[in-house]
Amino acid sequence: MKQCKGCRQTLPLDLFSKNAPARDGLQEKCKPCVSAYMKARHAANRERLRQQARDYYYAHRAEGIARAKAYAEANPEQARQWRRESCRRAFRRYPEKGAARCAVRYAVKVGKLVKPAVCSQCGGKKGRIEGHHYKGYAREHRLDVVWLCRPCHGAADAEQERAMKT
């Protein structure tokens, strides 16, 4: 049993996290007190913390990508399973979008659609070339695609979303 410095209650040791430098090897505050403190801290500094996370992500993006690639190469079966599950979740969440993607993938495979090597909008290749369903995902428009690089595709999607809101 140990007294928490936050709530001043005497609690069992399993309610305290480890802290090697401490005399007894445990934190001063119990897990519920630490949790409450962290929630309050996060709520008070939400935007600053989100910006820090964004900055860190962009500063270390290449390292994260390299780490993910190395993991996928070392664990091909787990990586394949993760990709499958991710695809399935997206398909369940957006069935029309998933069906349209499958239709385009199949049309490219059988030669009904030809996927170019460069973006049809900017003429460059700033990433993977993707099919943009500019008329939507309805059955009759599944193969109506414009081939765009990732940045142009993102901009086109954002523009389409803005147009739908107004």
pLDDT digits (tens, 9 = 90+) for 111-163: 999 999 999 989 887 778 999 999 988 999 999 999 999 899 989 988 888 88
Q: In whole angstroms, give the CA distance from residue 63 to residue 47.
A: 25
Per-residue pLDDT at 75 exceeds 90: yes
How many domains does one find in the chain? Answer: 1
Asked, for residue 153, whether it belongs to a domain, the answer is yes
102 is in which domain, residue-wise? Answer: 95-166
Q: Average of pLDDT values for 74-100?
A: 90
Asked, for residue 135, whether it belongs to a domain, the answer is yes
Residue 131 CB neighbours (<10 A): 22
Asked, for residue 67, whether it belongs to a domain, the answer is no
What pTM, to 2 d.p., does this model score?
Answer: 0.53
Q: In whole angstroms, give the CA distance from residue 119 to residue 125.
A: 6
pLDDT digits (tens, 9 = 90+) for 48-62: 999 999 999 999 999
Asked, for residue 29, whether it belongs to a domain, the answer is no
